[in-house]
Structure 1
């Protein structure tokens, strides 16, 4: 093993091995205590290496966002995959048909009859495709909203021979904008209550429903739960990031950082690094417990944030920090949002006590189709 600061050219993504393993263990144990299955969402790391570690720790399966991710994960030997997203297009269902033949369990998200009709057509004579209905709980994104539409879709799916309704899922992403940890938990538990109620409405129609899947890292870390949930489905907990750390007021769980070099100090307060928008995504949450107030956080600093990003340059405006650092020094930046940041890299460096353990390919990078 070699010291990473000396060996790694910047910008580069680092993953702290010890912290990551502790995060995996922590969330698995939390789920076990609640008596619910844990299905990690691999859109955060997009690496088969970490998906396998999560499965070995006790995960029931994985969640993906895209077919491309699922195909890579299946090739690596993962047999239980839920694509927590709506998929549209005959060519995509042809890919799902092939994937469904290869692995034990494949499920996707649905919220409309157009999808069901395409599945019914493509999967004729095949092993039926299992689906979960997405239920909108406040994020204002995809998902069924009204009880009438929910029951109509559930009955529509139940009338088909090539589609099997297995459950319902929701995502309480709107809780990121909660003004406090307590309100985050309250909003999440209301979202869970609504999701469980939606499942009960379907069951009351005589339609069996096995899975009630929810999840977002801040709400579950802040203790949110509701009786009737069968599965936690969340991703960021493996690495955390600036927004997620602020949501629980704890930076000790941040295991991913971008290593960058100081390349310029044009004024007595401005520090320029070689990590811009192509190395750190230009997402800046502006409100709530996940508000980042910048585009990254300098690790182990006194609250030093990146003020701005150009394509190839990151900008820090902090006179005291500028006095403490020199051109050529390397710093670690905790990203504002880790999920899209990982997708900027071909590989990450696994680090332990300041040494490089191994290089890990981001083998789902770009697999967004």
Structure 2
């Protein structure tokens, strides 16, 4: 099949760019130094390629954990999120095919872990992002209560997500150090072998954690490219120009096929005006015609992928494989 044979909108993954991104991360953070986060691509076929470089994975949902175990990738999964019903995770552990570690940040999430049959946890520490995480000074006490409840505490995690898109690397490094001081203080009280955190935006500057939960590096998006990250734009959304007017054109990719929380997508050689449900309106630098195919670059890869059922792996204009986005849903 050729790219022009595909129905649009369609996710395209450039095989060479993806391979280069995986190799570059493996060189920068070999083996267990990177714990790839599958929330960025939700695709077990891609995760199997990452498994050739890294032994463990990060997931964000129970559904992702279930899919990874079903694909034979459950040897060391960290669910880096709080859940209040862990019974499905306990069932995975009972199957004997998985090792799952769950993040906790409260007595309620600790109780859910125990009730669900979880055996190992990490204490999630708030290092500056106002989302989940226990205050650093309370982490040790929570770990003590977890051990008293019969759980193994593997260590701590903290996510400096508010720093990922800082355009200046020196500033990113400075603020990352401040955040990681909080995580290391918590780890001194909690103990355990894991100091987990970071992401694609801080993978090169966060030298305080012993594993980085990077995900977007594999496929990339324009927000990370604008922040100076060196990985290639492997993911694009194929669109068809469906209308042409004096000064602008419309393509059949819109809000229902693009993650928009980081802003408009990019159309190479054009200026995007706005996106609506099923359309991207743009001003092309060179004339386009109805029926032309264009490749749209998303600003945020994670929600973009989650809107699609499959991705097409391409080499030039050849479609060489089709991967199901099989970790979608909950």
Name the TM-score class by shorter chain: over 0.9
> 1:271: how far off?
1.7
1:137 is paired with a residue of what secondary structure?
A: coil
> 1:364: how far off?
1.1
Aligned to 1:158: 147
1:244 is paired with a residue of what secondary structure?
A: helix
Distance (whole Å) between structure 2 residues aligned to residue 116 and residue 295 of structure 1: 40
Aligned to 1:295: 264
Structure 1: which 5+ residue stretches go unaligned?
A: 204-208, 285-293
Structure 2: which 5+ residue stretches go unaligned?
A: none
Distance (whole Å) between structure 2 residues aligned to residue 22 and residue 249 of structure 1: 14
Give structure 1 regions of 4+ aligned residues with deviation exceeding 6 angstroms.
Answer: none
Output the aligned Cα RMSD.
1.8
Number of corresponding residues: 328
In the alignment, structure 1 residue 312 sits paired with structure 2 residue 261: no
> 1:333: how far off?
0.8
Provide closer, same or farther for how the CA distance between residues 110 and 274 of structure 1 changes in structure 2, counting only shifts above 3 A.
same
In the alignment, structure 1 residue 144 sits paired with structure 2 residue 134: yes
Aligned to 2:241: 262
Q: Of 220, 230, 233, which residue of structure 1 is paired with 2:210? A: 230
In the alignment, structure 1 residue 43 sits paired with structure 2 residue 43: no
Distance (whole Å) between structure 1 residues aligned to residue 164 and residue 211 of structure 2: 20
Distance (whole Å) between structure 2 residues aligned to residue 271 and residue 344 of structure 1: 23
Provide closer, same or farther for how the CA distance between residues 255 and 267 of structure 1 changes in structure 2, counting only shifts above 3 A.
same
Question: What is the TM-score with the length of structure 1 in the denominator?
Answer: 0.84
Q: Of 21, 34, 39, which residue of structure 1 is paired with 2:19? A: 21
Aligned to 1:69: 64
Segment drifting more, 168-177 vs 343-352: 168-177
> 1:98: how far off?
0.8
Distance (whole Å) between structure 2 residues aligned to residue 72 and residue 122 of structure 1: 18
Conserved? CA contact 1:37–1:60, under 8 Å: no
Question: What is the TM-score with the length of structure 2 in the denominator?
Answer: 0.94
Q: Of 181, 185, 189, which residue of structure 2 is paired with 1:197? A: 185
1:351 is paired with a residue of what secondary structure?
A: strand
Distance (whole Å) between structure 2 residues aligned to residue 15 and residue 305 of structure 1: 23
Aligned to 1:216: 199
Aligned to 1:182: 170
Conserved? CA contact 1:67–1:96, under 8 Å: yes
Distance (whole Å) between structure 1 residues aligned to residue 32 and residue 173 of structure 2: 18
Provide closer, same or farther for how the CA distance between residues 225 and 121 of structure 1 changes in structure 2, counting only shifts above 3 A.
closer
